[in-house]
Amino acid sequence: MNSQIYSRTGGFMGLSFAVPIDVAMDVVEQLKTKGRVSRGWLGVLIQDVTRELAETFGMARQEGALVAQVLPDSPAEKAGIDAGDVILKYDGKSLSTSSELPPLVGASPIGQAARLEVLRQGKIQELQVTIGELPEDDELAAVPGRSTKATANRIGLVVEDLTAEERDQLGIRDGGVMVEGVEEGPAERAGIRVGDAILMLDNQPIADARQLKDFLDKIEPGRSVAALVQRGDGRMFFAIRIPKT
């Protein structure tokens, strides 16, 4: 069902934006029976698996939806889904990219059990999740970064432990470090910014700045590792290649 047309001339020739007819019919049926539209909800923030991230997770090819964050008290949390899991299949349907997952979840009946195939630390696991109803959006406050003159670590970052107040503002339960400075190096090239909070490195939770340094010192040069970063109210994985010198 065509919903919008973008045209330079004002005529019918241009780009059309359409809504699948089955989606439109489902919306009509829900409005008729319930007076409102409800959508399925899993409760995860996801991203695509890039070539670099596929390498860090030991994947032969780029596929699936990488879980960057599991929302508290969500169906995903109750099902045991973790940050760092790569969802490969939803109810038997393979996922080539992360964008394929939301429509499948959204179209699932509320309360229905769905089967997930996930890659976790190199091993395939099957999980069952009961789909919830998509809640209203909540807004979280972003915490600005701070500046410092401290020494940068092996990947070019200056970090400090998160304070209790910062964890509360960012919704982080425990651990994590705040990026206070970014020098030229692997982290900068990966896209890490001042104000980011680093929560995990190479599938290991980061408790504090000292632990992050210890982890970095043990990683062999030339290897790529995945870092879970919170930026504002969102989380995302970045692939960082450890320098050889």
238: β partners: 227
Please compute, for residue 77, the number of CA atoms within 13 A of its CA located in the half-sphere on the CB side: 8
- Extents of the domains making up the chain: 40-133, 157-241
Assigned fold of 157-241: Pdz3 Domain (2.30.42)
Contact 200, 175 (CB under 8 A): no
Give the pLDDT confidence of 89-128 residue by residue, as tens digits: 999 999 999 999 999 998 898 999 999 999 998 999 999 9
pLDDT at 46 (0 to 100): 93
Report the percent of the chain where pLDDT is more than 70: 78
Looking up tokens 């190199």 gives: 122
pLDDT, tens digit (0-9, with 9 covering 90-100), for 123-133: 999 999 999 99
Identical fold for domains 40-133 and 157-241, yes or no, is yes
**Whole-number pLDDT of residue 139:** 36
64 secondary structure, DSSP code: S
Alpha-carbon gap, residue 217 to 206, rounded angstroms: 14
> Among 113, 49, 128, which Cα is nearest to 81's?
128
The yes-or-no verdict on residue 8 having pLDDT over 90 is: no
Mean pLDDT across the chain: 84
- Nearest-CA neighbor of 42 among 145, 124, 115? 115
pLDDT at 138: 46
Q: What is the pLDDT of residues 165-223, one digit of tens each?
A: 888 888 888 899 999 999 999 999 999 999 999 999 999 999 999 999 999 999 999 99
- 0.85 surpassed by pTM: no
- Cα separation, 13 vs 129, whole angstroms: 44
Q: How far is CA 7 from CA 3, 4, 49, 110, 122, in A?
A: 13, 10, 34, 38, 48
Beta bridge partners of 117: 89, 126
Q: Give the residue-averaged pLDDT of 219-237.
A: 92
Instruction: Give me the mean pLDDT over the 145-151 stretch.
Output: 50
CATH architecture of the domain with residue range 40-133: Roll (2.30)
Identify which of 159, 134, 132, 133 has the alpha carbon closest to the alpha carbon of residue 145.
159
On whether the CB atoms of residues 222 and 204 are closer than 8 A, the answer is: no
Cα–Cα dist 72/47, whole Å: 18
